[in-house]
């Protein structure tokens, strides 16, 4: 990974981190201000915030803003005009990793091969891998320690089977009684399993047990296990950001709200008994690391408050649609980079992004490379002039700039042209030193000009003139 790519990655990581934090704080603050009760909107806000952290590559959007300049010469246009070759338009900029300027690109290119940015990237990748390993180890430990459990009482087992049949669930999900674990719906390698604590379960009323079964079945129907896994995959690039993990916990808490609502939907009068059951199940139990944090502490208190609030307003369909539309706009805006350009240039950029344009540029690039190679060889044999070599190096330079997909490619094209001119100058210098044919003073001074001109273009691009190269 070269210095330019590393610098671009570090810059993009910083930008996406700030975007994630700002999106989560703004979204949750707005939902709290508007007192939104919809678990769906809360979960969507969390996903929106985490998705902002994946916009490492942004798409450039040209916004026509100012009047075009009277003339905008391309690189070394006078030389092309003197040779009868019109200057080519500047290359457009498709999606690129955001680095603020060519000067930063050049600074990154001239920096040592290993610097603090490389170390930061290594730490970032290592942390992401460790986060994956940690979650995998926690799950494997849970699977290994998960008890087989004992069969449930006939009454509870019949109620659970009847509930599965009523909801059209054909997948067998056994209800097993354990010493302390549960109630929790687990996805184990052998399939789903519903675990419930034996003694605490028997102390609950029948209506409370039925509500708890409805809650766990809602997790299965909503595919919350897989959604929770997907959200944890979203957080990986920003494993170091505490707000990213807070968004994950908020996502899980909203899932519990939705399942609580499903548990009390058919029998609202069971809400007090259900809330009391949640509280009694949480008392005196050590929290399980693999289980949802909404089952303990502040998460549990908020759940019971929502369960016992009969007048909690429900968001209308129009309100949900409006929130989703706003979220979509914010999400798309995070992946766009708006550029102010002269009026009329946006049409040129659209034309330059067509498949026909790309095919023509690729054909030009292949032809210019072959022509340059043949011209350089013919010059060594004395069959073409020095100006022919220079003109075809220039043609190759401009074609490479057109074919480049980012500023890194344009800068590399300028550097390659400088190297070609440097090699040409060294050949003439060697002939001049021994007073051989082909080493005339006029050619020596001309190649010195070519090298200086190439260095000027590199400096104007925001870089530094490279040192002497053979």
Instruction: Compute the distance between CA of residue 462 and CA of residue 105 in angstroms, rounded to an integer.
Output: 8
pTM higher than 0.75, yes or no? no
In this structure, the dihedral spanned by the alpha carbons of residues 376, 378, 380 and 383, taken in order and rounded to 10 degrees, is -130
Residue 186, phi then psi, degrees to nearest 5: -110, 145
Distance CA 194, CA 310 (A): 29
Nearest to 299 by CA among 348, 335, 249, 333: 249
Q: Is the pLDDT of residue 420 over 80?
A: yes
pLDDT higher than 50, residue 353: yes
Q: How distant is the alpha carbon of residue 433 from its chain centre?
A: 57
Reported as a pLDDT band with limits 50, 70 and 90, residue 2 is low
- Mean per-residue pLDDT for 19-29? 88
The three-class DSSP label of residue 194 is: strand
- 154-172 confidence digits (pLDDT tens): 999 999 999 999 988 888 8
pLDDT, tens digit (0-9, with 9 covering 90-100), for 241-274 = 999 999 999 999 999 999 998 888 878 888 888 8
Strands 184-188 and 191-197: antiparallel
Tens of pLDDT, residue by residue over 74-130, are 444 444 444 444 444 443 333 434 334 444 444 544 445 567 788 888 999 999 999
Asked if the model's pLDDT at residue 237 lies above 90, the reply is: yes
């Amino acid at each position: 990974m070269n210095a330019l790519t590393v610098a671009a990655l570090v810059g993009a990581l910083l930008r996406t981190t700030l975007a994630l934090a700002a999106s989560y704080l703004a979204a949750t603050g707005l939902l709290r201000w508007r007192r939104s009760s919809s678990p769906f909107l809360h979960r969507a806000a969390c996903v929106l915030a985490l998705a902002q952290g994946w916009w490492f590559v942004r798409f450039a959007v040209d916004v026509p803003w100012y009047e075009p300049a009277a003339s905008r010469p391309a690189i070394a246009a006078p030389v092309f005009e003197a040779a009868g070759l019109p200057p080519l338009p500047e290359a457009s900029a498709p999606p690129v990793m955001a680095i603020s300027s060519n000067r930063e690109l050049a600074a990154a290119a001239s920096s040592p091969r290993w610097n603090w940015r490389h170390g930061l990237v290594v730490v970032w990748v290592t942390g992401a891998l460790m986060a994956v390993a940690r979650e995998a180890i926690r799950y494997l430990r849970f699977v290994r320690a998960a008890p087989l459990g004992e069969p449930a009482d006939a009454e509870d087992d019949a109620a659970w089977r009847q509930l599965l049949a009523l909801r059209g669930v054909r997948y067998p999900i056994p209800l097993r009684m354990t010493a302390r674990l549960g109630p929790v719906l687990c996805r184990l390698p052998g399939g789903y399993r519903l675990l419930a604590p034996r003694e605490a379960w028997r102390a609950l009323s029948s209506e409370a047990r039925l509500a708890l079964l409805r809650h766990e079945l809602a997790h299965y129907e909503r595919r919350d296990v897989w959604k929770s896994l997907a959200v944890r995959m979203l957080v990986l690039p920003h494993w170091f950001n505490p707000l990213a993990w807070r968004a994950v916990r908020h996502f899980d808490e909203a899932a519990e709200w939705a399942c609580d609502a499903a548990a009390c939907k058919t029998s609202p009068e069971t809400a007090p008994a259900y809330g009391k059951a949640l509280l009694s199940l949480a008392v005196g139990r050590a929290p399980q690391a693999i289980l949802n944090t909404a089952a303990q502490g502040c998460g549990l208190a908020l759940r019971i408050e929502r369960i016992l609030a009969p007048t909690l307003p429900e968001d209308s369909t129009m309100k949900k649609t409006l929130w989703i539309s706003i979220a979509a706009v914010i999400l798309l805006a995070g992946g766009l980079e708006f550029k102010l350009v002269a009026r009329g240039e946006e049409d040129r950029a659209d034309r330059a992004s067509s498949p026909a344009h790309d095919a023509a540029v690729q054909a030009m690039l292949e032809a210019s490379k072959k022509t340059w190679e043949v011209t350089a060889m013919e010059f060594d044999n004395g069959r073409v002039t020095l100006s022919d070599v220079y003109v075809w190096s220039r043609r190759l330079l401009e074609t490479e700039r057109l074919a480049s997909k980012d500023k890194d490619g344009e800068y590399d094209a300028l550097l390659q042209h400088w190297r070609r001119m440097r090699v040409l100058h060294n050949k003439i210098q060697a002939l001049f030193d021994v007073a051989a044919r082909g080493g005339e003073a006029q050619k020596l001074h001309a190649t010195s000009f070519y090298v200086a001109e190439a260095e000027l273009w590199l400096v104007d691009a925001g870089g530094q003139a490279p040192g002497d190269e053979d």
